[in-house]
Amino acid sequence: MPRARSRTIEEFQTSAAPQDQGSGCLSGFLIPPLAVLMVSLLLAAFAIRQPAPTPLSGTSAPVGVGLAPFFRPEVLHWQDSILRWAAAANVDPNLATVVMQIESCGDPRATSRSGAMGLFQVMPFHFTVTDSPYDPDTNALRGLAYLSRSLQAAGGDARLALAGYNGGIGVIARGDWTWAAETQRYVRYGAPMYADAQRGASQSAALDEWYAKYGVSLCRQASQNQ
């Protein structure tokens, strides 16, 4: 709605009392501009003290925020640990949970045909010789460190970070059509899961479809190994 037009000085003078009766020009002309100036200075000082708004990204989440409720119970079993691990890695815990959901469904003993291990399916070359790859804390440390690097390479874009986590950080700079079929599938389910978590959804159609097509046996195994 347009704001009301301010009266000009000429209009104010026209409506004022005749000069020989005294128009109160000191209060009519000087005080209002001074008052406006004082208010403007106070508002400016207040604005300077306010912190700049933080843009939404995949790299952080408000303190105390829990995980989306639609993740599988085998994954929510790790909720307290995920919150701790994600905070240490400076990634959104819901994004970390999406990775765990697709990678292992919360199975700490999961092993892929390519040799990836544990909750976050970390490849052997990411571990040191003294690491215990299946130890949940160690596995999360190495896995989420790589997710954090992927996020940095993707400029905070969670979708591209998921592609980098699955296909290698090098795929982030390439067009989607060049990604391996597995990476495309990873993003096709992972990105909408994360979007559902960000908007506070209680259910996720993407997770339900992923579970029906790929997750039943994986999650059953996770339940047995917890």
Catalytic sites, residue numbers:
103
Distance, CA of 59 to CA of 161 (rounded, Å): 10
Residue at token pair 């899961």: 193
Q: How far apart are CA 85 and CA 87, in angstroms?
A: 5
Q: Where is 100: in which H helix or E strand?
A: helix 93-103
Q: Which tokens hold the place of 43?
A: 């508002």
With beta carbons less than 8 A apart as the criterion, state whether 204 and 192 touch. yes
Cβ neighbors of 13 (< 8 A, separation 6 or more) are 23
With vertex at residue 55, the alpha carbon angle to CA 52 and CA 60, rounded to the nearest 5 degrees, is 110
Residue type for 166, please?
N
Query: Can you tell me the distance from the alpha carbon of 58 to that of 194, in angstroms, rounded to the nearest whole number?
Result: 9
Q: What whole-number distance in Å separates Cα of residue 57 and Cα of residue 37?
A: 39
